[in-house]
Amino acid sequence: MKTPVLVSERLCFHPWETEDFPLFASLHGDPEVQHFLQMGDPPWDEAHLLAKFEGFRADYAAHGWTKFKVTDRQGAFLGRAGFGCFPETDELELGYSFKRALWGQGYAAEAARALLDWIYTAKSVDHVIGFAVAEHAASRRVLEKVGMSLTGIRDVDGIPNAFYRHDRPD
């Protein structure tokens, strides 16, 4: 495995490699993981999964950020976390998805904290947004725990989402 782009206390963040697609597909093949990403829509088919995966790879090649593959320090796959461009506003958006068996262990907050510290050093962005389905209390707690401020509730594809903002530290 190549050298990670970022390392936190328990996590390593890697760009996706072609051979990582089965890991990505297994993560997003779990209906519990997908629940708040899709809100009742049919599961992503292989073509959609592959398009998302290749989009993450293209983001890294073009910008140096992506929704990275996240592993533990021993190299075990845990999920994904990082940044994407929110198309409605062209703002950098923080997002994460971890394997269901790992929920509640602090990985999302650790990832979000490490990624926010990293992005302000690595790139000249003045703020980052994050959002979660309004009823998804756990994901909203993560965004609040890392210092993001609620900016409002807005519909995304007809579903109420809580939007947050984190400004570059002085």
Chain segment 97-146, per-residue pLDDT in tens? 999 899 999 999 999 999 999 999 999 999 999 999 898 899 999 999 99
Distance CA 159, CA 152 (A): 13
Query: Given this model, what pLDDT does residue 170 score?
Result: 84
Kindly provide the residue ranges of all beta strands, DSSP E only, lying in the chain, ordered along the sequence.
6-7, 11-14, 67-72, 77-86, 91-98, 127-133, 149-156, 159-167
pLDDT, average across residues 22-49: 76
Tokens of 83: 């940044």
Confidence check: pLDDT of 13 > 80: yes
CATH topology assigned to domain 6-167? Aminopeptidase (3.40.630)
Residue 143: per-residue pLDDT? 97
Least confident span in 60-64, 92-96, 98-102: 98-102
Tokens of 52: 């998302």
The stretch 16-39 carries a mean pLDDT of 82
pLDDT of 162 above 80: yes
- 34 pLDDT more than 80: no
pLDDT surpassing 70 at residue 40 = no
CA dihedral sign, ordered 57, 59, 60, 62: positive
**Sorting pLDDT into bands at 50, 70 and 90, what band is 37?**
low
Residue 152: Cβ within 10 Å count: 10
Give the pLDDT band (50/70/90) at residue 166: very high
What is the pTM for the complete model shown? 0.92
Q: What is the pLDDT of residue 28?
A: 86
pLDDT at 41 over 70: no
